[in-house]
Structure 1
């Protein structure tokens, strides 16, 4: 399964590495269509089928594994600058399956690489502090005033994002939406509504890539393709970047800052991607919140109905505790004033 500038490509090979059919292209669509096709192919395959992805394509595996399809991940030593074609990934699955990582249902795209990811994050601490002091990186929970920013990742989604926007409008609450470029390309009308209702739009990469794996060329593509798709939908400039998984390295943080973007992390983790009950999502927010918190939730990437159901209790509960919900811009401005004192 590979990516292009405007969508997805599916290439299927047999056990000998030969093509088992024509390459299929899925343009300007969300992930549901290619996922449905892969599930169909897996059910038809007499000897089974495995889908090969890489860490630059982090929005497919959970839907596929939930449907019972085997998913294998190809890691950087097998790739070049993070750029791979559907044909190359399929060939790897046939020729070197033992070198690929099997992803399980309920896991995550980077399973098996946790130690290296933690090491990269720890190595990024000094650079992160410096960029934070310069206003080029926002952590959560570093403020003095009782301000909180709500953020949503992985959209836009044609059903869940509008429902979240409805809740925000009823409660007169601002939020930030970090969009995946492929989803913005598929649903420009939802992007327009986010912007029209005064919410912040941010860059969440083209395909939910683990950015430290990418070289400078592919990093630029991930960011610029997304910015162009959102701008084409009427979203305006995107000064904010949320790296998928919070993935970072010293080199990545420097490159992002040099590109003019501000990296936005978080301190309140709801884990709503695992689809807990709405009361669990709300409880996690209210238990972890502190002045200056940035709350991470999701409006895309799966069934987000529980997040939608939890949102009224999240907003009401925060306000009852004396917190004011603000846009990222106001949160960042407050940090800058505090740092200048």
Structure 2
């Protein structure tokens, strides 16, 4: 009974945070795919780094394909399986989305959560199932704080090299852990290394999730230095961008310090950190 009450309370908090996080002073955010024309934000042109720069070859290279599949779990609607992941959001004013991959980590994730709480900012956490299973309390904390938790597979493999059964296991097991600890099944999925294929898009859609990529790659996983991470975010900040950082997978002290450095600067510059609403299609 106590667990059911806790989950119900978290679901209510998540629902309220989804409205407040995407609305607030920034207005309601609308998700856009990389292939769609961006809707200009009022008074602030929706601009960012050139596509060639944002998608330059790296370990995060995107390889989208297309297909159609069954409706999301729990609905009777037929949904389109995306041919590329979402990469931006659009809304009123200067909206940005902060995302963190590979956690939750018992040391670095709490530090990131404290920083976000200090500045009353919501973010997205794409968690790995094997990490989430050992740190379910942190997913509960994310739910209580109004953050969005997405699926980043169980063990962070290169999905394009796996058979469909293994892809489904990697994604499905993680969704189960998230639903148990967070109180809701994940609505967003991010492929490890940004490597997508037809099976990945289809299975993600069958499990009720939309694919999410990023606009700004901070390369913080390589530990380039706090100053370099801060410089990348500040230089490429623009309305609608999605920032990629990591809260696990190694020493993430630079990532934590970079967040604490650039976040107040961006807020002072008029940016609003938000989380996207999923749009049923």
TM-score, length basis structure 2 = 0.68
Aligned mates of 2:67, 2:265 — CA distance in 1: 35
Match of 2:132 among 174, 177, 184: 184
Residue 194 of structure 1 contacts residue 201 of structure 1 at CA under 8 Å; is this kept in 2? Answer: yes
Superposed counterparts of 1:112-261, under 5 Å:
121=63, 124=64, 138-141=85-88, 143=90, 145=92, 146-261=94-209
Aligned mates of 2:58, 2:114 — CA distance in 1: 40
Tell me: CA distance 1:230–1:290, structure 2 relative to 1, closer, same or farther (3 Å).
same
- Is the partner of 1:149 in helix, strand or coil? strand
Aligned mates of 2:271, 2:216 — CA distance in 1: 14
User: Is 1:306 matched up with 2:274?
Assistant: no
> 1:202 deviation in Å?
0.6
Aligned mates of 1:306, 1:313 — CA distance in 2: 10
- Is the partner of 2:256 in helix, strand or coil? helix
Tell me: CA distance 1:241–1:192, structure 2 relative to 1, closer, same or farther (3 Å).
same
Alignment: residue pair count? 213
Tell me: CA distance 1:135–1:326, structure 2 relative to 1, closer, same or farther (3 Å).
farther
> 1:186 deviation in Å?
1.1
Tell me: CA distance 1:116–1:251, structure 2 relative to 1, closer, same or farther (3 Å).
farther
Aligned mates of 2:268, 2:115 — CA distance in 1: 17
User: Is 1:281 matched up with 2:253?
Assistant: no
Residue 60 of structure 2 contacts residue 194 of structure 2 at CA under 8 Å; is this kept in 1? Answer: no
CA deviation vs aligned residue, 1:20-62 (integer Å, no higher than 9, x gap): xxxxxxxxxxxxxxxxxxxxxxxxxxxxxxxxxxxxxxxxxxx
Aligned mates of 2:260, 2:67 — CA distance in 1: 37
Tell me: CA distance 1:281–1:223, structure 2 relative to 1, closer, same or farther (3 Å).
same
Tell me: CA distance 1:179–1:142, structure 2 relative to 1, closer, same or farther (3 Å).
closer
Aligned mates of 2:100, 2:58 — CA distance in 1: 26
For the pair shown, the structure with the greater C-alpha radius of gyration is 1
Aligned mates of 1:255, 1:226 — CA distance in 2: 13
> 1:318 deviation in Å?
2.0
> 1:237 deviation in Å?
1.2
Residue 65 of structure 2 contacts residue 196 of structure 2 at CA under 8 Å; is this kept in 1? Answer: no
**Greater RCO structure (CA 8 Å; 6+ sep):** 2
Residue 99 of structure 2 contacts residue 124 of structure 2 at CA under 8 Å; is this kept in 1? Answer: yes
Superposed counterparts of 1:28-67, under 5 Å:
none
> 1:303 deviation in Å?
0.6
> 1:141 deviation in Å?
3.8
Aligned mates of 1:242, 1:175 — CA distance in 2: 14
CA deviation vs aligned residue, 1:225-265 (integer Å, no higher than 9, x gap): 11112223244211110110111123432332233210000
Q: Cα RMSD over matched residues?
A: 2.8
Tell me: CA distance 1:163–1:220, structure 2 relative to 1, closer, same or farther (3 Å).
same
Aligned mates of 1:115, 1:198 — CA distance in 2: 32
- Is the partner of 2:87 in helix, strand or coil? coil
Residue 256 of structure 1 contacts residue 262 of structure 1 at CA under 8 Å; is this kept in 2? Answer: yes
User: Is 1:326 matched up with 2:263?
Assistant: no
Tell me: CA distance 1:116–1:178, structure 2 relative to 1, closer, same or farther (3 Å).
closer
Unaligned runs of 5+ in 1: 1-113
- Is the partner of 1:207 in helix, strand or coil? coil
